[in-house]
A and B are shown apart, each in its own frame.
Chain A
Amino acid sequence: MQTASACDSASGQKTQSVGLELLDVTCRFGDVAALKDVSFTAKPAEFMSIIGPSGCGKSTLLRSIAGLERIDDGGIHVGGKDVHALRPSEREVAFVFQSYALYPHMTCRQNIAAPLVMTELSALGRTPLLHRLSPKARHTRARIASRVDKIADQLQIGPMLDRRPGQLSGGQRQRVALGRALIREPKLFLLDEPLANLDAALRNTTRAELHALQRRVGATTLFVTHDQAEAMAISDRIVVMFDGQVRQIGTPDDLYRNPADIDVARFLSQPWLNCIHMDTAAHHLEAGPGRPTARVRGLPLREQTGVVAFRAEHASVHPESDRAEPALRVTVDRAEHAGSDANLFVTLQGSDTQLVVRIPSSDIPRWPGGTPANLRIDTEAAWIFPVPEQTADTDRDAMKVA
Chain B
Amino acid sequence: MILTLAAAVTLLPFIYMIAVSLAPTGALWSGSLLPAPSLDAARANYAYALTEVPLLRYMANGAFVCAMILVLQVLVAAPAGYALAKLPFRGRGLLFGAVILALMIPIQVPAIPLYVALAYAGLLNTYTALILPVIISAFAIFLFRQFFTSYPDEVLDAARLDGFSELAIVWRLMLPAAWPAVAAFATISVIAHWNDLYWPLVVITDTDMMTPPLGLAAFRSNGESTGNPGALMAGGVMVTAPLVIAFVFFQRHLIRGLGIGAS
CB distance A97 to B158 under 8 Å? yes
Q: Which of B157, B164, B177 contacts A97 (CB 8 A)?
A: B157
Whether the pair A105, B161 counts as a contact (CB closer than 8 A) is no
Checking B157, B162, B168, B177 against A105 with a beta-carbon cut-off of 8 angstroms, the contacting residue is B177
* 22 cross-chain CB contacts under 8 A: A66-B157, A67-B161, A88-B161, A89-B160, A89-B162, A89-B163, A93-B161, A95-B157, A95-B161, A98-B154, A101-B155, A102-B155, A102-B158, A103-B159, A104-B155, A105-B173, A105-B176, A114-B159, A114-B164, A115-B161, A118-B163, A119-B163
Residue of A at shortest CB range from B154?
A: A101
Contact with A along B152-181 (1 / 0, CB 8 A): 101101111111100010000100110000
User: Which chain A positions have C-beta within 8 A of B159?
Assistant: 103, 114
Q: Is the CB of B168 within 8 A of A103?
A: no
Given A87-B160, A97-B154, A184-B162; 9 other pairs, CB 8 A cutoff:
A89-B161, A89-B164, A95-B157, A98-B154, A103-B173, A105-B177, A114-B159, A115-B163, A180-B158
Which of B164, B168, B173 is most buried by chain A, counting CB atoms within 10 A of its CB?
A: B164
User: Is A99 in contact with chain B by the CB < 8 A criterion?
Assistant: yes
Give the chain B neighbours of A89 by CB distance below 8 A.
160-164
Contact between A101 and B158, CB atoms less than 8 A apart: yes
Chain B's interface size range is: 10 to 19
| A-chain residues with CB within 8 Å of residue B160 when the two chains form the complex | 67-68, 87-89
Q: Which residues of A contact B152 (CB under 8 A)?
A: 99, 101
State the 3 A-B residue pairs at the shortest beta-carbon distance, nearest first. A118-B163, A89-B163, A101-B158
Tell me the nearest residue of chain B to A123, going by C-beta: B168
A103 to B155, CA, bound (A): 7
Chain A's nearest CB lies how many Å from the CB of B182? 13
A33 to B154, CA, bound (A): 22
Beta-carbon nearest neighbor of A96 in chain B: B158
Q: Which residues of A contact B158 (CB under 8 A)?
A: 95, 97, 101-103, 180
- In the complex, A89→B166 CA distance in Å? 12
0/1 string, B32-75, CB within 8 A of A gives 1: 00000000000000000000000000000000000000000000
Shortest CB distance B178–A (Å) = 10
CB distance from B244 to the nearest CB of A (A): 30
Q: Complex Cα distance A184/B163, Å?
A: 11
Is A281 on the interface with B (CB-CB < 8 A)? no
Q: Are the CB atoms of B163 and A99 closer together than 8 Å?
A: no
Q: Contact check, B161 vs A68: say whether CB atoms are below 8 A apart.
A: yes
Residue of B whose beta carbon sits closest to that of A104 = B177
Closest to B160 in A: A88
Chain B hits for A103, CB < 8 A: 155, 158-159, 173
Q: Which residue of A lies closest to B157 (CB)?
A: A68
Instruction: Identify the A interface with B (CB < 8 A).
Output: 63, 66-68, 87-89, 93-95, 97-99, 101-105, 114-115, 118-119, 180, 184
Residues of A within 8 A of B173 (CB): 103, 105
Nearest A-chain residue to B153, judged by Cβ: A101
How many A-B pairs fall under 8 Å by CB? 59
Whether the pair B155, A94 counts as a contact (CB closer than 8 A) is: no
Residues of chain B within 8 A (CB-CB) of A114 are: 159, 162, 164
Question: In the complex, which residues of chain A have a beta carbon less than 8 angstroms from the beta carbon of B155?
Answer: 101-104
A233 to B160, CA, bound (A): 32
Report B173-217 CB contacts with A as 1/0, cut-off 8 Å.
100110000000000000000000000000000000000000000
Residues 108-166 of B at the A interface (beta carbon under 8 Å): 152, 154-155, 157-164
Cβ-defined contact, B164 with A118, below 8 A: yes
**Chain B's nearest CB lies how many Å from the CB of A69?**
10
Q: Which residue of chain A has the shortest Cβ distance to B168 in the bound complex?
A: A118
Contacts of B168 in A (CB 8 A): 118
In angstroms, how far is the closest chain B Cβ from the Cβ of A249?
A: 26
Residues 71-106 of B, flagged 1 when their CB comes within 8 A of A and 0 if not, give 000000000000000000000000000000000000
In the complex, what residue of chain A is closest to B173 when comparing beta carbons?
A: A103
Most chain-A Cβ atoms within 10 A of its Cβ — which of B152, B161, B164, B177?
A: B161
Bound CA span A343–B166, Å: 53
Q: Which residues of A contact B176 (CB under 8 A)?
A: 105
Q: Who on chain A is nearest to B177 by CB?
A: A105
Kindly list chain B residues whose C-beta atoms are within 8 Å of the C-beta of A97.
154, 157-158
Interchain nearest-CB distance for A92 vs B (Å) = 10
| Shortest Cβ distance from residue B120 to the other chain A in the assembled complex, whole angstroms | 37
Distance (whole angstroms) from the CB of B169 to the closest CB of chain A: 10
Residues in chain A near residue B161, CB distance under 8 A: 66-68, 88-89, 93-95, 115
User: Which B residues are CB-close (under 8 A) to A95?
Assistant: 157-158, 161
User: Using Cβ atoms and an 8 Å threshold, which residues of chain A touch B163?
Assistant: 89, 115, 118-119
On whether the beta carbons of B177 and A118 are closer than 8 Å, the reply is no
- From residue A283, how far is it (CB to closest CB) to chain B in Å? 54
A324 to B155, CA, bound (A): 63
| Contact A115–B157 (Cβ < 8 Å) | no
Report B-chain residues with C-beta under 8 Å of the C-beta of A66: 157, 161
Check if A115 sits within 8 Å of B162, measured CB to CB. Answer: yes
Partner among B154, B162, B164, B177 whose Cβ is within 8 Å of the Cβ of A99 = B154
Q: How far is the CB of A127 from chain B (nearest CB, A)?
A: 10
Chain B residues, Cβ within 8 Å of A102:
155, 158
Q: Which of A67, A88, A99, A119 has the most CB of B within 10 A?
A: A88
| Bound: A88/B169 CA distance, A | 14
Residues of the B chain whose Cβ atoms lie less than 8 Å from the Cβ of A104? 155, 177
Question: Closest CB-CB distance, A66 to chain B, in whole Å?
Answer: 6
A27: min CB distance to chain B, Å:
16
